[in-house]
Amino acid sequence: MQLSRIDMNLLVYLDVLLRERSVTRAADKLGISQPAMSNGLRRLRTLFDDPLLIRTSEGMTPTERAGQLEPMLRTVLQDIERAIQPRSDFDAENSQRVFRIMVSDYAESTLVPPLLRRLREEAPNVILDLMTPSDVSFLDVEQGKVDMVINRFDDIPQSFHQTIVWRDEFCCMVSSENPILENFSLKNYLQAQHVWVSKTGYGVGVGVDPADVQRLGWVDEVLGQLGSKRNITVFTRHYQAAMLLAEQNDLVVTLPARAALLQAHNDRLRVMAPPFVIPGIQLKLVWSPLLHHDPAHRWMRRLINEVAEQVPSPEF
């Protein structure tokens, strides 16, 4: 097969078809008619001597050959796009760009406020569209529909770019009138009532099973390894709500230290080191390779990292 005989538009068609898994949606995406898209698929099948996409009960499913082509195709098209795109610096001061960022409640509470202050200084017309983990999927990020993700992760697709925003340690927060302050031991910690707070990952949120220790997160996994289990009476996905609940005299909240810093001046609360060792966590910034070379995206990533370096971690 000679490269000069290939219609390069067909490669664009195939890329969009593999993303959308639908002739109709692919046609809409490219702004062409459905018959033109169908004709393009026929030509692609002839070109590669393979059906490429087969209609199943779950819609259009890629063949094994198409699955092999998909990552190579995207790399090639990205390289071509970068080659022909005029290079220009990002004019932050005058930009009105909307940055769509999926951000956990933890990161939204701790990182976004100082980030917004910097934006007001350097890019006053830039808009942030902050999304929760339940709003988006890995596919949304891969396709560049979401600019970036700031969260804690166990697993990230290998094709994604990532950087560590910061590392954080866990602490405990209780009311200044909580009797546990007299002896904050592991025994008393386990006998107390606790507020669980976390929200990671993607997809629509579901209820928590208190018996499923493996899915409760870092704190409960460590306690499980010690042969212990805490008494959780409240489950929440919001760190601000958890810290307000800590003001009640009989509740203990275990959370990342930078989140606890938000209540540093609240005399009704006390922050202490946990009575057992909990491994630290990493807050990560993740984005699609589609946006890796975008000047505006590079500027925002740099700004986030600069702001993150200035966010202190409290000592306790």
Q: Which of 4, 84, 6 is nearest to 40 (CA)?
A: 6
Distance of CA 308 to the CA centre of its chain: 16
For residue 211, the Cα-to-chain-centroid distance in whole angstroms is 26
Question: CATH 3.40.190.10 in the chain, residues?
Answer: 98-165+282-309, 170-279
Domain with CATH 1.10.10.10 in the chain: 3-84
Predicted pLDDT of residue 208: 57
Predicted local confidence at residue 196, as pLDDT: 92
pTM reported for the whole predicted model: 0.67
Per-residue pLDDT at 179: 95
pLDDT for residue 67: 87
Percentage of the chain beyond pLDDT 90 is 46
**pLDDT (tens digit, 9 = 90+) per residue, 213-227?**
555 678 988 999 999
CA 204-208-210 angle, 5° bins: 170
Q: Which amino acid is at 169?
A: E
Model confidence band, residue 257 (pLDDT cutoffs 50, 70, 90): very high
Architecture per CATH, domain 98-165+282-309, reads as: 3-Layer(aba) Sandwich (3.40)
**Which amino acid appears at position 202 of this protein?**
Y
> pLDDT, tens digit, for every residue of 269-295?
999 999 999 999 899 999 998 898 899
CATH 3.40.190.10 assigned to 170-279: yes
pLDDT of residue 4: 57
Q: Copy the structure tokens of residue 283.
A: 């807050």
Question: In whole angstroms, what is the distance from residue 102 CA to residue 133 CA?
Answer: 6
Pick the CATH number of 3-84 from 1.10.10.10, 3.10.450.50, 1.20.120.1200, 3.40.630.30: 1.10.10.10
